[in-house]
Amino acid sequence: MNTDTSSAVDDRKPTGGELAGAMETRGGVHRGAGDCIELRRLHRFFGKTKAVNDISFSVARGHVFGYIGPNGAGKTTSMRILATLDLPSYGDAFIDGFSVINDPELVRRRLGFMPDSFGTYRDVNCKEYLDFFARANGLVGRERNQRLEWVLDFTGTAGMASKPIRGLSKGMKQRLCLGRALIHDPAVLILDEPAAGLDPRARIELRKMIRELADRGKTVLISSHILTELAEMCDSVGIIEQGCLLATGSVEQIQRQRETHRELTIRLLDRASECAQEIETRTGIDRTLVDGTLVRFEFEGDLEAQADLVAWIVGRGYRVAEVASHKKSLEDVFLQVTEGLVQ
C-alpha cells in the first residue's frame, strides 16, 4: 500500500499559529540575524539640490527605525530609493541583503511600501482592493485566500471587507494601505508618515500594530512628525536635515550625546534668592530664575557634576527639599540638532 501522502490535498483550515509561521517564512523573515536595511553612502541629486547627501545607516532585523526630519529633508527620497521607485545618483541601498540597484525584483518581493498618500479605487470594496494587490504580487489559490483573510483580520478591516473604499474614514484607509503593504508577507516595511491625519485612538492602534509586526520579526522604517510616538515605538532613530544625517542611534543614546545642558529645579525650605545668587557664581550655570522657593537654571555637566553641585549647595547651609532634572525629550533633541533649514 502506498503511504506517500506528499501529493494529497489538505482541506483542513490552518490554525493562526501555522498561518503566521508560513507567512513569516515565505517573506524571508527567518533568513538569519543581521541588518535587514542598509544604506551605504547614498546620494540623490536633482540638479544642484542634494536631496540625499552621503547617508549611511543600517537597521537590524526585527527593529523599528524612526526617520525624523523637517519637510524637504530627504526622508521620502530615501524611502523611494529603498522601495526601488527611484535610483540613487551614487551609493547603494540593500533590503534583506539585496541591492536596490542590481536586484530590484528581489527587493520588491521582500519589501512592503506604504507611501504618505496612496491612490484608492473608489468603486471597489476593501477585499477587492487587497485581492488585486495579492494577485499583482503573484499570490494564487489557497495561499492568496489565506493572506487576504490574515491581512483583513490583522488590520481590523474584516468587518468592512465588502464596504466601498469611498465610505472609509481616514484611519480605516490607513489600515487598508498597511494591509496592501503586508499582503505579500514582506520582511521589510517602509512606512512614510502613516499616522498623518489620524485621531489619537487610531494612532495608538497603528502603533500597536507596528510593534506587533516588529515582534513577529519584520523590520520597519517609519517616518513621522509625531516625535513622542516615535520615541515610544522605535528601537533607534535617525535625524536628517537638508539631505544630511545629523544623528543616529537609540533615543537614549542620542539624548545622552546631546545632554550637555539640562534644566535643574531645586526646591528650598528658605533663602531661595540668596541661594540663587551663590549658584550664579559657579561655572556652567545659566538662566537662573527664582520662583518662590524654587530655583531654576540651565546646568552644563553630567550626572556626577549635578550630584557634586547639589552636595555643594547643601554644604553651604541651604536646606534642599527637592531636586528635579529635566531630561531632554526627542522633540528637545530634534530642535537642538536641526536648524529648520529646507532645500
The pLDDT tens digits of the residues spanning 206-238 come to: 889 999 999 999 999 999 877 877 888 899 999
289 within domain boundaries: yes
For residues 76 and 48, membership in a common domain is answered with yes
293 within domain boundaries: yes
Kindly give, in sequence order, each residue whose CB lies less than 8 Å from that of residue 95, ignoring residues fewer than 6 positions away.
36, 37, 82, 107, 110, 111, 187, 188
14 within domain boundaries: no
Residue with the three cell numbers 504580487: 137
Walk along the chain (343 residues) and give the pLDDT tens digit of each residue. 444 433 333 444 343 334 444 434 333 333 445 789 999 999 999 999 999 999 999 999 999 999 998 888 899 999 999 999 999 999 999 999 999 999 999 999 999 999 987 666 778 999 999 999 999 999 999 999 999 999 999 999 999 999 998 888 888 888 999 999 999 999 999 999 888 878 888 888 888 999 999 999 999 999 987 787 788 889 999 999 999 998 888 877 776 666 556 788 999 999 999 999 999 999 888 889 999 999 999 888 778 888 999 999 999 999 999 998 876 667 777 776 676 655 5
For residues 92 and 232, membership in a common domain is answered with yes
For residues 231 and 269, membership in a common domain is answered with no
12 within domain boundaries: no
For residues 311 and 229, membership in a common domain is answered with no
Among residues 249, 277, 307, the one where a domain terminates is: 249
Per the structure, the complete domain to which residue 306 belongs is given by: 260-328
3 within domain boundaries: no
255 within domain boundaries: no
For residues 75 and 157, membership in a common domain is answered with yes
Residue with the three cell numbers 490607513: 174
For residues 226 and 265, membership in a common domain is answered with no
Among residues 249, 273, 291, the one where a domain terminates is: 249
For residues 219 and 307, membership in a common domain is answered with no
Among residues 249, 283, 298, the one where a domain terminates is: 249
For residues 109 and 243, membership in a common domain is answered with yes
Domain of residue 288, CATH code = 3.30.70.100
Domain of residue 239, CATH code = 3.40.50.300
1 within domain boundaries: no
Residue 323, amino acid? V
For residues 271 and 313, membership in a common domain is answered with yes
| Domain count of the fold of the chain | 2
For residues 209 and 171, membership in a common domain is answered with yes
**pTM, two decimal places:** 0.73
- On whether the CB atoms of residues 182 and 113 are closer than 8 A, the answer is no
For residues 108 and 203, membership in a common domain is answered with yes
Radius of gyration over every alpha carbon of the chain, rounded to an integer in angstroms: 26
For residues 94 and 230, membership in a common domain is answered with yes
233 within domain boundaries: yes
